[in-house]
Amino acid sequence: MEDFYNKKNYVFEQMRSGKIGKVMIKFAIPSVLSLLVGDFYNISNTHYLNYYTGHTGVATLAITGNFFMLLIALSYLFSTGTQILLSIYLGRSEMKNVKNLISISVVFTFVLGIVLGAVLYKIIPTLLYLFAAPQALFSMTQSYIAVTLIGLPFILVYFLFFGIFSSFGKFNLTLCMSIIFCIGNLFFVPIVLINGYGMAGVAWVNVIASICVDIILFSVLVFSKKFTFCFLKDMQFALIEFFKVMYIGLAYFLPFFTKIIAMTLVLQWMKSYNSVWLLASWGAYFRFYMFAYMVMVGMRQAAMPIFAYFKGYDREKAMVAYETIVKWVGNVAMITWIMVLIFIDPIMKFQLDNIYGKHILLIMCLALPFAGIETLSLGYLQTQLSIKLTILLDLLDKVVLILVTVILVQLFGQNGFYYIFIVTSIIMCIVIYKIVTHKRVKRYN
């Protein structure tokens, strides 16, 4: 482990010497590409489902969107907590703790994945009710969720491995794994749909692809001697370390979890319009918005190891890094929006025909600069271990989301659903940025 850190990874030296922008480029490009490759599969999946199953398949994606947000919340509970704590230990050069934490997180996450998968499997009917699944889509949605929960331990470990390798700046490796995952899915999903396996077949493709990537990355850890069972000699230490992981991860888990609640309320409201077409339209738009938003998430994921490293090495430089990277995020967000503007027509044709005009999607994507700065700011607070403040600000975000939705739907009817992201993002971007850069918060961190 020490050889790996000292001889093969020079980004830490670059960060210490103040080359934050250079390191951010090295991290951000593969980080963003990794997420875009993954979400490109989601958009392609929407296209395949629309072609083979019609609007019912796309509407199922809209319903299961909240379910997958739940899985992402659970995944990042462990992966971001591990990533941040590993980066802090790296900043302190505590290499023994780094090695122990990797093994502890892998074992405990897999075990908890088995337990959580079994619990959620038992309450699938309740989940379907909460996610506003119409009776006509009940069977299709149930089979999709059931298969996914069977593979939950492997899905959680999949995300965890990405967090572990990202803490060392190995974003090129995670990008390669994302490409392998998506190529496998893009090849097999049309096959299972053509052969009539439906949503269950699609879910099995996802699970098997996750297992394949897990095997590859686990092999890398084993052969590089980063995975051992030495922590079993002191289970009390192991439990304390994993408790730290989950505590730090709460600042990512709770935002996703509360967003699930907020978006479930939005879906319940949509359901009141009794329109599968509206759900299909929302599913297509939301899928593409999330594809563009992945650029912002990738920037945040690239920045968090930098912020956390400086938390362990030099706290004052963490704020310098934040101010530098915020400029990057704003500029990249605007470039992304311009790209959407240029390619909007083929995008709309590929996604779904006969939905609201393209100007609605452009307005949704105009929220990207504000949403990007908001999520980066929350990530900064999380890496500086301001966990309670991060959670409180996220709760405020969801309250604003609900209030904005109520107001816009009252004013514009169902068209109001498509304006909620930009209005909410502008409000929260300003609030959180001001809080992070406030002098008292600087001293507190």
Is residue 321 within 8 Å of residue 314, measured between CB atoms? no
In angstroms, rounded to a whole number, what is the distance separating the alpha carbons of residues 284 and 50?
10
- The fraction of the chain above a pLDDT of 70, given in percent, is 77
Q: What is the CA radius of gyration of the chain?
A: 21
In angstroms, rounded to a whole number, what is the distance separating the alpha carbons of residues 222 and 4?
13
- What SS3 class is residue 93? coil
In angstroms, rounded to a whole number, what is the distance separating the alpha carbons of residues 293 and 291?
5
Give the pLDDT confidence score for residue 65 in this predicted structure. 67
Is residue 281 within 8 Å of residue 348, measured between CB atoms? no
**Pick the residue with more confidence: 365 or 29?**
29
Distances (CA, A) of 174 to 22, 235, 302, 381: 19, 30, 12, 24
Question: What is the mean predicted confidence (pLDDT) over 331-346?
Answer: 78
pLDDT tens profile 178-199 = 888 888 878 887 888 788 777 7
Is residue 174 within 8 Å of residue 30, measured between CB atoms? yes
Question: What is the mean predicted confidence (pLDDT) over 328-355?
Answer: 71
Give the pLDDT confidence score for residue 10 in this predicted structure. 66
What distance lies between CA 300 and its chain's CA centroid? 10
Q: How confident is the model at residue 114 (pLDDT cuts 50, 70, 90)?
A: very high
In the predicted model, is pLDDT for residue 274 greater than 70? no
At 203, the amino acid letter reads A
Question: What is the mean predicted confidence (pLDDT) over 58-82?
Answer: 78
**Pick the residue with more confidence: 268 or 219?**
219
Q: How confident is the model at residue 126 (pLDDT cuts 50, 70, 90)?
A: confident
Q: How confident is the model at residue 5 (pLDDT cuts 50, 70, 90)?
A: very low
Among 50-59, 191-200, 299-308, 358-367, the range scoring the smallest mean pLDDT is 50-59
What distance lies between CA 409 and its chain's CA centroid? 27
Give the pLDDT confidence score for residue 327 in this predicted structure. 85
Annotated domain spans of the chain? 2-444
Mean pLDDT, rounded, of the chain? 79
pLDDT tens profile 395-428 = 898 889 888 888 887 888 767 777 877 888 899 9
Give the pLDDT confidence score for residue 219 in this predicted structure. 92
